[in-house]
Amino acid sequence: MCGIVGYIGREQAAPILLAGLKKLEYRGYDSAGIAVLREGRFVRVRREGSVRDLHAAPKGHIGIGHTRWATHGAPTARNAHPHIYGRFAIVHNGIIENFAALKAECLARGERFSSETDSEVIAHLLAYYDEGDLLRALQKTCARLTGAYAIAALTSNREEIALARKASPLIVARTEHGTFCASDLYAIGEAADFAALRDGEFALLRADEAIFYDARGVRIAKQTARYCPETGDPMMGKFRHFMRKEISEIPAAIAKTAQKFDEMVQNKRFCEVLCQTEYIDIIACGTAYHSGLAAKYVIEQCAGVRCNVTVASEYRYAPPVAGKGTLAVAVSQSGETADTIAAARLARARGVPLLSVTNVAESTLCGCSDFVFKTEAGREIGVAATKSFCAQLIAHDLFALLLAQCKGRPAKPLGDLAGMAEKTLAASEAVARWAPYFLDARAAFFLGRGIDSVVAREGSLKLKEISYLPSEGYPAGELKHGTLALIERGTPVVVILTSRRLAAKTMDAVHEVAARGGRVFLVTPFSDLGEEACARLLIPEAEELFSPVLSVIPLQLLAYHVALAKGADPDRPRNLAKSVTVE
């Protein structure tokens, strides 16, 4: 949701904080701010909107910064972080569920609030528990909080930063120039030794050290790893937007993720679990949920194992029956999706082994899993998932093939999906010509049968989230069960058809749409279909179960071009953030 960064060291803090916040804007870009401590007082700069609007650079060697995705309170400068009360300044990522009761206590003491946020109450509690020890005040404050948080706090009378973490990511890094904290390693602009705080842990940062504490306040040692930004920092290069660049990287993501199969096969403990697996529960949200729906088709058809796919926020409150032989699979690009983590922990608490599929090895989800399949999509900056979705699809395909092998069933070859993706990318440039047909539409629809219906859902989601055009994705057979009433002259309908065996039935939906004046846009490998279509895009023919990794590419590009035509920023869709770290 929000992104936080902190620095204490020999360098000027403000430029470091601003550089870090620019790299964290994928987590939220409603407002931004920094606070720097100089000669016993805070100098704070806050703005509504982007980090690039923060022009001032106060002097000082210690500070904290924040880029916001609004939950409580409008996205205004008044509600932007850092929040200051008395001798304390804080930034917060997460949500304080009991803030109303805590705020009422503060108001009863005669304290005044300057924002509408839930976060400001943290600064008030720090002041209330102040006995001259910043870390102790933060520990007492966190004992009163219900919800999720990553907190960085300053006090005006000491040069140190206190940290706390519960259900929101927080990294500590040491470099030759000082000590950092951030929501994501990407915010650290130089080589560093880093460690991730776990739930309930605290840390105290000074210019030359980072000290860690467990939930009881006992000092602990943390194992560190090395981070080298020169190997992991993406640049936009020749592309206008990260989303377009990341779509171009899909073939590489497919190829690199496909190389993980041998690693899976060599994990004997994992294979033993698969041999005993009779049911699979997939848990995910949004685009990851759609990848899970595709996985259900592949797993059941390839391995003959029953598979249930549940939206993570629903799994926690209405979990399916988990009998003996159940394996839970949690899917999250960032590994920090709050609903997915909560559901995954519930599955493990019920004694179900957990496999996580994620793109971030040091994530919270990995830390609570029995097994991890790390996809190799590389860093994805665009809020709308593109290459990470395709990497998840390949991960699921490989998992299904290994499961089939463990069950003694013949495996289907993946084929050269990376090569076919390259050809699909080249062909999909043509969808830019489809965009004008979507500009004046009141709504758009995506249809498909079988596994194509999953691609229809994902294509619809992409269009909605970055172009703001109302859209729905349906199984093609459901069209006449209500949705057909919404088709009028000129309504754009995208049809995905990759299965020859389902072609005749899918084309029935095309005929129904065309008969009512709708405009059909067909994505298919079959050149003999689609006379009634307004436009047709031919893609390479792959094994039906593995086709989504190809057929989704033109839909991602369609959403991108429609967004551009409507004047929207495809990298920063309104009201959304890349990593949803609150429930």
User: Catalytic residues, which ones?
Assistant: 2, 578
Q: What residues does 204 pair with on adjacent strands?
A: 162, 211
| Residue position matching structure tokens 């020169």 | 230
Please state, as a whole number, how many other Cβ atoms lie within 10 Å of the Cβ of residue 411: 13
Angstrom distances, CA of residue 358 to CA of 314, 347, 377? 20, 17, 10
**Closest CA relative to residue 170, chosen from 142, 203, 143:** 203
**Quick one: which of 289, 259, 530, 267 has its CA closest to 414?**
259
For 468: left if phi > 0, alpha if psi spans -120 to 50, otherwise beta; the answer is: left
- Closest C-alpha among 167, 201, 197, 200 to residue 185: 197
State the Cα–Cα distance between residues 400 and 394, nearest whole angstrom. 10
Which of helix, strand or coil describes residue 568?
Answer: coil
Distance between CA atoms of 235 and 251, rounded to whole angstroms?
A: 18
> What end-to-end distance do the CA atoms of the chain give, in Å?
10
Q: Which residues contact 485 (CB under 8 A, 6 or more apart)?
A: none
CB 207 within 8 A of CB 11: no
Which are the contacts of 255, defined by CB distance < 8 A and separation ≥ 6?
418
Look at residues 114, 210, 86, 124 and name the one whose alpha carbon lies nearest to residue 160. 210
Q: In what order do the strands lie in the sheet with 83-85?
A: 83-85, 88-96, 147-155, 158-166, 202-206, 209-213, 219-220
Strands 444-448 and 471-475: parallel
CA angle 268–271–275, rounded 5-degree value: 140
Check: CB of residue 71 under 8 Å from CB of residue 580. no
Tell me the residue type at 295. A
Could you tell me the maximum CA-CA distance found in the chain, to the nearest angstrom?
78
Residue type, 374: K
Residue 494 β-bridge partners:
446, 521
In 3-state terms, what secondary structure has residue 412? coil
Buried b (16+ CB within 10 A) or exposed e, 337-363: bbbbbbbbbbbbeeebbbbbbbbbebb
